[in-house]
Amino acid sequence: MVSLKAVSNSTPLIYLAKVSKLNLLKKLFNEIIVSEEVYEEVVLKGKERGEPEVYVISDFFEEGFIQKEETRRPKRKSRGLHEAELKAIGLCEEEKIGHILVDDKEAFELAKLLGLEPWRTSSIILKFFELGEIDYHELRKTLQDLSSAGYFMTAEVYELILGRARS
């Protein structure tokens, strides 16, 4: 599966770094592309705020696994979506990349409508389990760590993920 590229929005990168799982993205993709806005939000503003995960994420930019791409103005407008989310979707379309890492509900739904394959942070963690990169105990702990770090996940989603892992 490592021959794929993906475009990422900010939230998956931030939270995967917070729970020390960002490195596992290399098991799913050979390259992650982000817009300039995502780079600014994650790296530049993260450094200003003193966020510890920014240094882990910065290392991935330095090694070239995560790359920043210039994007044009989004092709579409959508109430409820930030420009960075629209640009991430636009980057998928421009670069003909089918996978997008995004947690925002509206962006997730728009990506699906456009024929993209959106992945939420929680589903990425489940994929790590399915690939054998983490065991069931680590899956549970990682989901709990995500929640403790501020990632919003309903109890229903938490149980759904654990149920899929048990089956």
Domain assignments of the chain as residue spans, ordered by start: 5-121
The CATH number of 5-121 is 3.40.50.1010
| pLDDT at residue 1 is higher than 50 | no
When the pLDDT of each residue in the chain is averaged and rounded to a whole number, the result is: 90
CB 92 within 8 A of CB 100: yes
CA distances from 120 to 62, 88, 153 (A): 24, 14, 11
CB 6 within 8 A of CB 35: no
* Residue-wise pLDDT tens digits, 106-117: 999 999 999 999
Alpha carbon of residue 155 to chain centroid = 20
Strands 5-8 and 117-119: unpaired
Contacts with 41 (C-beta within 8 Å, 6 or more apart), sequence order:
10, 84
* pLDDT at residue 76, as a whole number: 58
